């Protein structure tokens, strides 16, 4: 619960923070699950790392500092949306434990870390955006999983494995979890 600008008590929305390698399935699951909740009457938003990079974070690079700042900004925006009782899905590689811990600190108890699990060979084989090919050709610096580390979440609230379950199963699992933590309408 929090007080809005008029001193009224409101319920903060949850923030489902999807982390994982590029191509793991974060955006696919965030958008599809968001739609499931919207169809049930929830106000939802997806903060997609690729979209943020085109606007809010367009001044940042992929260095450790740039990534930390992009995570911080996403967390601040997520916190504002959550305060307005919006159900927030963040789809961001967010490779470092420290960055995710900071996001948790900014957002508070409504933060849920969701590890979208798919290993490097799987994501490389999918290569939805062509990044892996470019990275392996040396044309992308600091590429997570190749030339920059990905720190696997140690105690995420939920793991969705996109190697062993198909899209529908993963959306079902995340939707169940999200509904449980979004409160009854
Ligand atoms: P990310 O946002 O993590 O970079 P995307 O969602 O953009 O990843 O891409 C993931 C790709 O993997 C999509 O083409 C999607 O169809 C595919 N995919 C295969 N299996 C799954 C699954 N179980 N869950 C989500 N995506 C999957």
Question: Structure pTM?
Answer: 0.94
- Could you identify the residue written with the tokens 């996001």? 103
Pocket-testing residue among 18, 25, 32, ligand 1, by greatest number of atoms within 8 A of Cβ: 25
Which tokens hold the place of 52? 């943020």
Is ligand 1 within 6 A of the CB of residue 162? Answer: yes
Residue 73 lies in a domain: yes
Residue 53 lies in a domain: yes
- Give percent of the chain with pLDDT exceeding 90: 89
19-68 per-position pLDDT tens digit: 999 999 999 999 999 999 999 999 999 999 999 999 999 999 888 899 89
Residue 132 structural domain: 3-179
The pLDDT, as a whole number, for residue 63 is 87
89-118 per-position pLDDT tens digit: 999 999 999 999 999 999 999 999 999 999
- Active-site residue, 94 included: yes
Inform me whether the pLDDT recorded for 137 exceeds 70: yes
Is ligand 1 within 6 A of the CB of residue 25? Answer: yes
Q: How far is the CA of 119 from the centre of ligand 1 (A)?
A: 12
Q: How many domains is the chain partitioned into structurally?
A: 1
Is ligand 1 within 6 A of the CB of residue 170? Answer: yes
- The CATH number of the domain where 83 resides is what? 3.40.50.300
Is ligand 1 within 6 A of the CB of residue 173? Answer: no
Residues in the chain: 185
- Give percent of the chain with pLDDT exceeding 70: 94
Inform me whether the pLDDT recorded for 1 exceeds 60: no
Residue 20 lies in a domain: yes
Q: How many other β-carbons are positioned within 10 Å of the β-carbon of residue 6?
A: 6
DSSP string, 53-113: HHTTTTT--SSHHHHHHHHHHHHHHHHHHHHTT-EEEEE-----HHHHHHHHHHH-TTEEE
Q: Which residues contact 27 (CB under 8 A, 6 or more apart)?
A: 46, 48, 50, 91
Residue 94 lies in a domain: yes
| Atom of ligand 1 lying closest to residue 18 CA | 3
The pLDDT, as a whole number, for residue 6 is 61
Residue 185 lies in a domain: no
């Amino acid at each position: 619960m929090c007080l809005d600008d008029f001193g009224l008590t409101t319920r903060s929305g949850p923030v489902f923070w999807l982390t994982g390698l590029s191509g793991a399935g974060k955006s696919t699951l965030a958008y599809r699950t968001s739609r499931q909740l919207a169809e049930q009457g929830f106000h939802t938003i997806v903060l997609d790392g690729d979209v943020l990079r085109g606007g809010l974070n367009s001044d940042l690079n992929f260095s450790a500092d740039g990534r930390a700042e992009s995570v911080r900004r996403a967390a601040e925006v997520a916190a504002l949306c959550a305060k307005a009782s919006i159900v927030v899905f963040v789809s961001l590689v967010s490779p470092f434990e420290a960055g995710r811990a900071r996001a948790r600190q900014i957002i508070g108890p409504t933060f849920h870390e969701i590890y979208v699990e798919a290993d490097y060979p799987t994501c490389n084989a999918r290569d939805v955006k062509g990044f892996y090919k470019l990275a392996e050709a040396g044309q992308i610096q600091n590429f997570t999983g190749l030339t920059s580390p990905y720190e696997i979440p140690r105690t995420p609230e939920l793991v969705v494995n996109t190697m062993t379950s198909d899209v529908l199963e993963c959306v079902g699992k995340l939707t169940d979890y999200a509904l449980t933590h979004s409160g009854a309408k």
